Every structure is written in structure tokens, then in C-alpha cells.
């Protein structure tokens, strides 16, 4: 088969990956734990074709260029090397959510690309192998291959570009239901991408060492709280992870927050004072994602919409892992 279509969803990290191991391996320096989101998707078609003189990539109708193109071509090269495929590929990808929504489109994008390219190249890899392939293009993408709650270990220390590292599912969506309210605070593209932001943090922040030693402890505690379905502890630890990540970044001059970010954080604290279990997490941008139990989502959404700097709120629940689409039927990769 030389053509395949895959669908993948973005994920939100509850414990953040921020920082890579030294070397060329794109290995995370800290473990992370995420939820894959339902209702938002990237759909990617990959077709290897003799008629092409180079790889052609189109995202949302526009050609992909620069760094994103180089990363995608690297992924295609890995698939060609593993499969013996010699043709170039045409890649068409579309997000059904706005790219500037504050949701990591690179996670769903590289997860869908890895799955579609592996299948189009004739590789019948198990999901963890596809997760490792996606991780080599964008670390957070490794987690979007799986549904529910997903964990990714830190990479081993050292310059081990050949090391295998895949994410793994640790709990299903029904284990601990959760709603994620994405509070979009600005529509423009972010000033500093996550790859550059984390590099600067590790190089220049006086708190880089503190982050690297604290993050695994937060991760272990959140994992434990999740396995015992302690929503309040999971929420509090997720908020701590985001605040610690941003504190280390801010100390290096990497400031993603705006006034609206702080206003949403204040609204989340207000909800907690009123007895609602609401917690905040923030990725490499100004938007805040509010974590609540599904029964509190409407109440929390009303509070978020009332914050002047919030342009809109996207409500998401926990979703499935990446899957292949075949004409007339779909094949799930499941959560295990």
C-alpha cells in the first residue's frame, strides 16, 4: 500500500515536558503525563508517488516550509529507510481546530503523519513503534498516538540519538473523567516556539536545575494521584507543574503570559474559593486550559467567558489515540 490516511488528536500535558537531554536525540529531560483530547483532530493523508521530484507538504491548504517542513521530511526519510520505499511523498494535512487556538497542533500533526507515513510505507508497526517515530519529530506527539491518560518517560541521559522511547497509555478516559476548557486569549501566533523556549530555559534560567529535579517528583505524585482517582490532587499537581515550568522559563526571559493569562489564573482561584475543583494548566503560549470534572464544566466555562481577555472557550473531553482511516471502515489503535 502506498497511500494512507490517519487521524490524531492534540493532547494536554498534566505534568509538563520542558527541556531535552543534551545531544541530537530529541529525548525529553523529564517525564510527562497527558490527556488526549476528543473533538479536535488532525487528518493527514500520505501518498508515495513515482511522479514526485521531492516531498510535497500542505497544511490547511498552504505549503509547509522551514523548520516544520524539515522535521516532516526527516520523518519521511526514517520511514523510507525502514521500509525500502524510494519514492517521495505527497502529504496533505488539515486541522479541524484553529492553529492559533493554543492547542499543540504539532502533537496531533506529527502523530497523524507518523501513523499515515508508516502505513503508506507498508510498515505494520505496533503503536509504540509509531509513537517513537513521532517523538523524533516532536516529543509531545509521541503521546497523541494513545488515548486516555498517557505517560512518556524521560530519555536516558547522554547523546543517544538511536534510543527507542515511546509513550504508553496508563489509564482510560473513564478511569477519571475530566473536562478541559481551552480559554483562547489571543489569536496571533506565539512569539517563541516550544523548542526554542525550552532550549533558552535550560541554557539561561537560574532555575533550570530546580525545574529538572522538581519535575520528576511532581510527575510521580500526579501519577499516583491519578491511579487512585484523586481529582483534587491531580488538578493541584498539574497546576504546580505548569507554574514551575513557566517560572523557570520566565527567569530566562521566556515569557508566554499576558495580562489575560493572569486574569484567567485569578478566575480559576476564584472558582476554587467558591468550592469548585478547578485547576489551570498553560503550555508555551498565553492561553489557559482549565481542568474540571465534567459536572463542573458549565459553571467554570461561565466564569472563564466572563474574563475580559478571553476571546472564546473550547470545551474538550478525553479522547482516543491516533487511528488509520480506510475507505468504508476505520481501524482504531486503541488504548493499549
Among 11-19, 38-46, 233-241, 325-333, which window interacts with ligand DP6 (CB under 6 A)?
A: 11-19
| Residues forming a β-bridge with 19 | none
260 makes contact with ligand DP6 (CB under 6 A): no
Nearer to ligand DP6, 136 or 301 (CB): 136
Q: Write out 266-277 in H/E/C secondary structure.
A: HHHHHHHHCCCC
Site string for ligand DP6, 16-45 (x = CB under 6 A): xxx-------x-----x-------------
* Least distance from ligand DP6 to the Cβ atom of residue 197, Å: 8
**Residue numbers 274-303 binding ligand DP6 by CB under 6 A:** 283-284
Strand-pairing partners, residue 325, are 5, 330
Q: Give me the DSSP letters along 183-226.
A: EE---SPPSS-HHHHHHHHHHH-TTHHHHHHHHHHHHHHHHHHH
Dist CA 324 CA 152 (whole Å): 22
Under the binding rule (CB under 6 A), the answer on residue 200 touching ligand DP6 is no
User: Can residue 104 be called a binding residue for ligand DP6 (CB under 6 A)?
Assistant: yes
Question: From the centroid of its chain, how far is CA 95?
Answer: 14
Q: Return all residues near 70 (Cβ < 8 A) that are at least 6 apart.
A: none
Alpha-carbon Rg of the chain, whole angstroms?
19
Segment interacting with ligand DP6 (CB under 6 A) among 14-22, 157-165, 306-314, 324-332 = 14-22
Site string for ligand DP6, 138-167 (x = CB under 6 A): xxx---------------------------
Please give the residues from 122 up to 141 whose contact with ligand DP6 meets the rule CB under 6 A: 138-140
Question: Judged by CB under 6 A, which of 4, 6, 7, 13 binds ligand DP6?
Answer: 13
> Please, what is the minimum distance in Å from the beta carbon of residue 33 to ligand DP6?
9
Q: Is 106 in the site for ligand DP6 (CB under 6 A)?
A: yes
With the CA atoms of 197, 199, 202 and 207 taken in that order, what torsion angle do they form, in degrees rounded to the nearest 10? -10
Between 140 and 335, whose beta carbon lies closer to ligand DP6?
140
- Binding-site size, ligand DP6 (CB under 6 A): 15
| Interaction residues for ligand DP6, span 40-99 (CB under 6 A) | none
Rounded Cα gap, residues 33 and 56, in angstroms: 33
Q: Please state, in angstroms and as integers, the Cα–Cα distance from residue 216 to each residue in 163, 165, 191, 212, 306, following that order.
A: 20, 17, 28, 7, 35
Does 195 bind ligand DP6 (CB under 6 A)? Our answer is yes
Beta bridge partners of 281: 289
User: Residue 212 phi/psi, 5° resolution?
Assistant: -65, -30
Residue 223 engages ligand DP6 in binding (rule: CB under 6 A): no
Is there binding between residue 194 and ligand DP6 (CB under 6 A)?
yes
CB nearer ligand DP6, residue 4 or residue 318:
318
Provide the b/e sequence for 157-183 (b: ≥16 CB within 10 Å).
Answer: eeeeeeeebbbbbbbebeebebbbbbb
Which residue, among 113, 152, 134, has the nearest Cα to 33 in the 3D structure? 152
Min CB(140)–ligand DP6 separation in Å: 3
CB of 138 to ligand DP6, least distance (A): 3
Closest approach of Cβ 3 to ligand DP6, in Å?
A: 27
User: From the CB of 32, what's the least distance to ligand DP6, in Å?
Assistant: 4
Return residues touching ligand DP6 (CB under 6 A): 13, 16-18, 26, 32, 104, 106, 138-140, 194-195, 283-284
Amino acid at each position: 500500500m502506498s497511500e494512507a490516511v490517519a487521524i490524531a488528536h492534540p493532547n494536554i500535558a498534566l505534568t509538563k515536558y520542558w527541556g531535552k537531554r543534551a545531544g541530537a536525540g530529541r529525548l525529553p529531560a523529564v517525564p510527562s503525563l497527558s490527556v488526549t483530547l476528543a473533538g479536535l483532530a488532525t487528518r493527514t493523508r500520505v501518498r508515495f508517488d513515482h511522479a514526485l521530484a521531492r516531498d510535497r507538504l500542505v497544511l490547511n491548504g498552504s505549503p509547509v516550509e522551514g523548520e516544520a517542513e524539515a522535521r516532516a521530511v526527516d520523518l519521511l526519510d526514517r520511514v523510507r529507510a525502514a521500509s525500502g520505499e524510494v519514492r517521495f511523498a505527497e502529504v496533505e494535512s488539515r486541522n479541524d481546530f484553529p492553529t492559533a487556538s493554543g492547542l499543540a497542533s504539532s502533537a496531533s500533526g506529527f502523530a497523524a503523519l507518523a501513523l499515515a507515513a508508516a502505513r503508506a510505507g507498508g510498515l505494520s508497526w505496533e503503536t509504540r513503534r509509531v509513537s517513537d517515530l513521532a517523538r523524533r519529530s516532536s516529543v509531545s506527539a509521541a503521546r497523541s498516538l494513545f488515548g486516555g491518560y498517557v505517560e512518556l518517560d524521560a530519555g536516558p541521559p547522554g547523546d543517544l540519538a538511536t534510543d527507542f522511547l515511546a509513550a504508553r497509555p496508563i489509564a482510560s478516559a473513564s478511569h477519571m473523567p475530566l473536562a478541559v476548557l481551552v480559554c483562547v486569549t489571543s489569536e496571533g501566533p506565539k512569539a517563541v516556539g516550544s523548542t526554542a523556549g525550552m532550549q533558552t530555559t535550560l541554557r539561561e534560567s537560574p532555575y533550570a536545575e530546580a525545574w529538572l529535579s522538581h519535575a520528576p517528583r511532581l510527575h510521580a505524585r500526579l501519577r499516583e494521584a491519578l491511579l487512585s482517582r484523586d481529582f483534587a490532587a491531580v488538578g493541584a499537581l498539574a497546576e504546580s507543574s505548569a507554574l514551575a515550568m513557566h517560572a523557570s522559563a520566565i527567569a530566562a526571559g521566556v515569557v508566554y503570559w499576558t495580562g489575560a493569562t493572569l486574569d484567567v489564573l485569578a478566575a480559576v482561584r476564584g472558582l476554587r474559593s467558591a468550592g469548585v475543583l478547578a485547576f489551570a494548566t498553560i503550555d508555551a503560549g498565553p492561553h489557559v486550559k482549565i481542568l474540571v470534572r465534567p459536572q463542573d464544566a458549565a459553571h467554570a466555562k461561565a466564569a472563564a467567558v466572563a474574563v475580559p481577555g478571553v476571546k472564546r472557550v473550547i470545551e474538550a473531553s478525553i479522547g482516543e489515540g491516533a487511528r488509520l482511516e480506510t475507505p468504508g471502515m476505520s481501524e482504531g489503535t486503541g488504548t493499549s
